[in-house]
Structures are given as C-alpha cells and as structure tokens.
C-alpha cells in the first residue's frame, strides 16, 4: 500500500506551479507591452495623417497631445483632444478631436486639422450614428462631402457663409438630410474660431519629445 502523501506537500507543489504560471504571464506581458504601445501609436499616427494633407511636419503627432477639459469653447461637452503638429520646433498645425453634439442621431466625433494660417488641412468623421444613405455621407467611406472644406478658413469664405447652400452659405448640403451637415459645419466653424483666438495657448506647453528625438 502506497503511503499517503502529506497534505502540505501537495499545497507546496500547487503554490510552486501557481507562482511559475504567474511569473510567465508577467514576463509575457512585460515583453509585449512595449510592442503593443508602439503599435497603438503607429496606428494612431496613421489615422491622423488624412487630416494633415499637403503639410510638412517631422515629429510624431501623437507625442504632442494635450487635452482641454470642459467647460471649453470647442464643440462638445466632453474633453477635447488637440495634437500639435511641428516642423522641427516650429508649430505648423493643430489637429482637434471634438464632438458636434447636434447630429441627427447623436454626437458626431470629428478630427479637424487646421494649419497655422487658419486653413483646414483635412477633416475626417471618427464616429457617428447618422442614418445610412442620409447623414452617413459625411463619412469618406460613403462620399467626398467632407473634403469640400479643405483649404478653407474663416476668411474664405467669410464666417457668415459657413453654412449649407440652403441656408445661404457656401457649402454643399446632403439631399434630404440637412441636420447632419449643419451640425458638422457648425462644429468646424467653432473649432476654427477657437484656434484663431487660442493659438498661443494651444502651443504654450512644449511637446514631449521621446528619448530618441532628444538624443538627436
Ligand atoms: C428615419 C429617418 C432618418 C433620418 N436620418 C437623418 C440623418 O441621418 N441626417 C439628417 O440630416 N436628416 C435625417 N433625417 C431627415 C430629417 O428628419 C430632416 O427631415 C432633414 O434633415 C431635413 O433635410 P432637408 O431640409 O434637406 O429636407 C431622417 C429622417 C428620417 C425619417
């Protein structure tokens, strides 16, 4: 007959196996965390590029993010995100992530790129709940509607013309869906106005350069 294994020996074996597994998980996490963070930054950097058309810049946009907590004068009641864009140490543009609150079916999250001279460098819709076939044409996967703002500023056209044609403005509307474009245009105009009034404050805090750039 086999002698009974003492109870404490099974406990110790179990504890050793558990400790080994925990260490393995911790090690794997440590080895992959940096890579995951790098991939996330690369993905974010790529997603921001379409709003920076025709602009020369040479530092990672994601390193220069600031957040503007509410209450603020940008569209939306949540915190606004601003990515500052630099060529060397010279500011060249800012990318705003803001929410147009008055979409037909809910808030519309927008990425709005504005050059230092106040011209729109690109706009992309990041999130929306607008109706397929109607308001969803604000999305570049559905139509080019949002591209019509590229190169425009508060001087071109004048502020009063920042509206759809049906409201006496300069910009194309969407057939049977004017609530959505009104919301988007209002948000762009508000963001342009904010940048015009707050450029110094937006670039006041220097960007956080990573170690590689600092050692250059
Ligand atoms: C089911 C349904 C979904 C709609 N979705 C939208 C929409 O996503 N965006 C929008 O602007 N209007 C939408 N509308 C239309 C609006 O109610 C409104 O009639 C329209 O924006 C007015 O546009 P118009 O001045 O060009 O006629 C929707 C209407 C219905 C009945």
Atom of ligand 1 nearest to the CA of 181: 11
CB atoms within 10 A of CB 58: 10
pLDDT of residue 215: 40
Atom of ligand 1 nearest to the CA of 176: 26
Question: What is the distance in A from the centroid of ligand 1 to the CA of 133?
Answer: 10
pLDDT of residue 10: 83
pTM given for the model: 0.83
pLDDT of residue 209: 56
Domain ranges of the chain: 50-202
Give the residue, out of 132, 134, 138, 173, with the most ligand 1 atoms within 8 A of its beta carbon, to mutate for a pocket test: 134
Atom 27 of ligand 1, nearest CA residue: 176
Question: What is the distance in A from the centroid of ligand 1 to the CA of 107?
Answer: 15
pLDDT of residue 20: 87
Average pLDDT per consecutive 10 residues, the chain (216 residues; last block may be shorter): 68 88 84 82 84 85 91 94 93 95 96 96 96 98 97 97 98 97 98 97 79 42
Atom 1 of ligand 1, nearest CA residue: 131
CB 116 within 8 A of CB 92: yes
């Amino acid at each position: 007959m086999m002698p009974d294994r003492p109870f404490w020996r099974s406990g110790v074996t179990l504890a050793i196996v558990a400790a080994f597994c925990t260490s393995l998980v911790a090690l794997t996490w440590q080895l992959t965390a940096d890579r995951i963070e790098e991939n996330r930054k690369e993905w974010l950097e790529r997603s921001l590029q379409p709003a920076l058309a025709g602009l020369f810049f040479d530092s990672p946009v994601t390193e220069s993010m600031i957040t503007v907590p509410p209450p603020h004068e940008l569209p939306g009641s949540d915190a606004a995100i601003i990515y500052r864009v630099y060529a060397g140490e010279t500011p060249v543009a800012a990318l705003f992530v803001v929410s147009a609150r008055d979409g037909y079916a809910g808030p519309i999250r927008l990425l709005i790129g504005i050059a230092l001279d106040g011209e729109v460098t690109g706009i992309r819709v990041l999130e929306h709940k607008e109706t397929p076939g109607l308001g969803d044409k604000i999305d570049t996967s559905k139509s080019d509607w949002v591209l019509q703002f590229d190169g425009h500023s508060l001087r071109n056209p004048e502020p009063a013309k920042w509206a759809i044609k049906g409201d006496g403005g300069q910009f194309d509307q969407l057939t049977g869906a004017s609530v959505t474009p009104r919301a988007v245009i209002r948000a762009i105009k508000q963001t342009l106005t904010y940048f015009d009034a707050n450029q110094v404050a937006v670039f006041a805090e220097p960007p956080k350069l990573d170690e590689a750039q600092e050692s250059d």
